[in-house]
């Protein structure tokens, strides 16, 4: 008898539901924290010429030395720290957990936070321990420290700012956590461009600190490039798990060229921050909406009957993200990415109409 998936596939994988990406064709797309702005036409033309010359018959540059040097400058990585590149930061999370997933290993994070920390722990056969945030989404440091003591986690993940709540945790508390953890603590700074706060400069002070960045939220979600920085003795081990050529030629060419015009991305991030302020103010004025201030490029808000509001927005052509049902603290919560002024206006109109219907 040939074996069935039930025989072969691990129970914890069969009980997962795949990370769902909804169809967004024709919608105002405010669900995935993308930068709503395209690159300026002159830069796009330059990219077209570079891509036309790309040696696609050859494997990519495996070391990506020049790209790493540019990222080091762009992200102000302290001297002496190593860089590891991934096919998005998702892949870096995967490498780290795979490397640390000894039998019985625990991955610790706070809840609610980025779902891939838990999912990838499950993929790798590690146990995930989630420590609830306080009701105001701040770090419950006593509970975190107690959990670190109890679980002795192999790896800890902290998103800074946090997704989906949008806030920065108190930096002093995060430092206490880093000092208490027995293993590496990854401070995931996917949204740092919108926050103006970072742990990057603290790397030399904490030998178990790793700082992760991505180009995705900065305007290059399509090329998939994540960066992990930290002490060479950690990253050297992780590099052994990296599949050869994980950062493809097209990604390397685009990242190198765009980083040479890095001010384009910084200016777009500044425009998004400005819009975030306007959107928050507008949301706070909608009756029946509680909107939380954010240090990222999205805003979390609470309504009555979130699922109904989510569907109403969708019917009106606006796609956001519903978090209702994913965690106790997110009951009736929705998350909207900050878009262009026009997209945000379309969202606000659709929201007001849905709430009035
Ligand atoms: N970290 C956080 C906190 C995120 O929210 C996301 C994307 N939603 C990622 C990492 C993954 O980003 P990437 O596109 O680099 O894989």
DSSP for 177-245? HHHH-SS-EEEE-TTGGGTS--SGGGGGG-TTEEEEEESIIIIIGGG--EEEEE-HHHHHHHHTTSPTT
Residue 225 domain-assigned (yes or no)? yes
Domain boundary among 261, 293, 309: 261
114 touches ligand 1 (CB under 6 Å) = yes
226 Cβ below 6 A of ligand 1:
yes
Please list the rounded mean pLDDT of every run of 10 residues in the chain (357 residues).
Answer: 92 84 91 97 97 96 95 97 98 98 97 97 96 98 98 98 98 98 98 97 98 97 98 97 95 98 94 98 97 98 97 97 97 98 98 95
- Do 270 and 202 share a structural domain? no
User: For residue 123, what are the contacts with CB-CB under 8 A and spacing of at least 6?
Assistant: 13, 94, 97
250 and 269 part of one domain: no
pLDDT (0 to 100) of residue 188: 98
Residue 205 lies in a domain: yes
CATH number of the domain where residue 138 is located: 3.40.640.10
Q: Are residues 209 and 140 in the same domain?
A: yes
Dist. CA 224–CA 2, nearest whole Å: 38
CATH number at residue 320: 3.90.1150.10
CA distance 119 to 184: 19
9's tokens: 């596939």
- Nearest Cα residue to 312 out of 354, 356, 346: 354
Q: How far is the CA of 323 from the centre of ligand 1 (A)?
A: 16
Q: What is the CA radius of gyration of the chain?
A: 21
In a domain, residue 149? The reply is yes
pLDDT per residue over 101-127, tens digit each?
999 999 999 999 999 999 999 999 999
Q: Which CA distances in Å does 101 have to 106, 179, 301?
A: 8, 21, 36
Note whether 272 and 295 are same-domain residues: yes
d(CA 68, CA 278): 36
**Position 49 in a domain:** no
User: Given this model, what pLDDT does residue 133 score?
Assistant: 98
Question: Ligand 1 atom closest to Cα of 87?
Answer: 16
Q: What is the pLDDT of residue 21?
A: 82
**Same structural domain for residues 217 and 337?**
no
User: What is the number of the ligand 1 atom nearest to the C-alpha of 93?
Assistant: 10
- Read off the DSSP letter of residue 341: H
Query: Of 203, 227, 261, which residue is a domain's last?
Result: 261
Number of domains in the chain: 2
Residues 297, 245 share a domain: no
Note whether residue 45 is domain-resident: no
Q: Give me the pLDDT at residue 18, please.
A: 75
Distance 90 CA to ligand 1 centre (A): 6
In this predicted structure, what is the pLDDT of residue 94?
Answer: 98
pLDDT value at residue 185? 98
244 and 295 both lie in a single domain: no
Which of 207, 238, 261 is the last residue in one of the domains?
261
Atom number, ligand 1, closest to the C-alpha of residue 215: 15
In a domain, 251, yes or no: yes
> Strand (E) positions, the chain?
28-29, 82-86, 106-111, 127-132, 155-159, 185-188, 209-214, 226-230, 290-291, 298-302, 318-319, 321-322, 333-337
Count of CB atoms situated within 10 Å of the CB of 6: 8
Sign for the pseudo-dihedral over CA of 144, 147, 152, 157: negative
Q: What confidence tens digit (pLDDT) does each residue in 16-38 have?
A: 887 778 889 999 999 999 999 99
> What pTM, to 2 d.p., does this model score?
0.96
161 lines ligand 1 (CB under 6 A): no
Whole-number Å distance between alpha carbons of 323 and 112: 10
Same domain, 35 and 62: no
- What's residue 12's pLDDT? 87
Regarding whether 175 and 317 lie in a shared domain, the answer is: no
User: Is the Cβ atom of 159 under 6 angstroms away from ligand 1?
Assistant: yes
Do the domain assignments include residue 335? yes
Q: Specify whether 289 is located in the same domain as 154.
A: no
Domain containing 300 equals 5-40+263-356
Residues 25, 79 within the same domain:
no
Are 270 and 256 within one domain? no
Spatial separation of the C-alpha atoms in residues 321 and 86, rounded to whole Å: 26
Which three-class secondary structure state does DSSP give residue 352? helix
Give the pLDDT score at 308: 97
Domain assignment present for 47: no
């Amino acid at each position: 008898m040939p074996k069935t998936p039930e025989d072969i596939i691990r129970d914890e994988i069969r009980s997962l539901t795949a990370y769902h990406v909804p169809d967004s064709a024709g919608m105002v797309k405010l669900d995935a924290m993308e930068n709503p702005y395209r690159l300026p036409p002159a830069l796009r033309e330059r990219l077209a010429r570079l891509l036309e010359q790309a040696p696609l018959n050859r494997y990519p540059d495996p070391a990506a030395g020049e790209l790493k040097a540019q990222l080091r400058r762009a992200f102000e990585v302290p001297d002496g720290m190593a860089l590891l590149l991934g096919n998005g930061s998702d892949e870096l999370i995967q490498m780290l957990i795979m490397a640390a997933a000894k039998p019985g290993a625990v991955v610790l994070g706070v809840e609610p936070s980025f779902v891939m920390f838990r999912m990838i722990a499950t993929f790798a056969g590690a146990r995930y321990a989630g420590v609830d945030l306080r009701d105001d989404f701040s770090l419950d440091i006593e509970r975190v420290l107690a959990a670190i003591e109890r679980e002795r986690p192999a790896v800890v993940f902290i998103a800074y700012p946090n997704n989906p709540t949008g806030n920065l945790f108190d930096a002093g508390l995060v430092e206490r956590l880093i000092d208490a953890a027995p293993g590496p603590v990854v401070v995931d700074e996917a949204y740092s461009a919108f926050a103006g706060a970072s742990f990057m400069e603290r790397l030399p002070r904490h030998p178990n600190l790793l700082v992760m960045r991505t180009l995705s939220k900065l305007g290059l979600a399509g090329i998939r490039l994540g960066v992990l920085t930290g002490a060479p003795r950690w990253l050297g081990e992780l590099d052994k798990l990296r599949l050869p050529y994980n950062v493809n030629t097209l990604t390397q060419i685009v990242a190198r060229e765009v980083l040479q015009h890095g001010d384009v991305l910084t200016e777009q991030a500044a425009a998004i921050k400005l819009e975030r302020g306007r959107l928050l103010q507008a949301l706070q004025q909608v009756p029946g909406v509680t909107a939380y201030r954010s240090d990222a490029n999205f805003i979390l808000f609470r309504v009555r009957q979130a699922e109904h509001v989510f569907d109403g927005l969708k019917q009106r052509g606006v796609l956001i993200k519903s978090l209702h049902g994913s965690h106790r603290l997110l009951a009736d919560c929705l998350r909207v990415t900050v878009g262009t002024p026009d997209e945000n206006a379309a969202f606000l109109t659709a929201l007001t109409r849905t709430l009035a219907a």
